[in-house]
Amino acid sequence: MSKPMHTASFKLTQQIDDALTALARRRGASRSALVREALAAYTLDKPRSITSAVDELSSDVEGPPDLSTNPNYMAGFGK
Higher model confidence: residue 12 or residue 70?
12
| Residue 54 to residue 24: CA distance in whole angstroms | 29
- Beta carbons of 67 and 73 less than 8 angstroms apart: yes
Q: Is 80 exceeded by the pLDDT of residue 63?
A: no
- Pick the range with the lowest mean pLDDT from 6-10, 35-39, 63-67: 63-67
Give the DSSP H or E segment for 7.
none
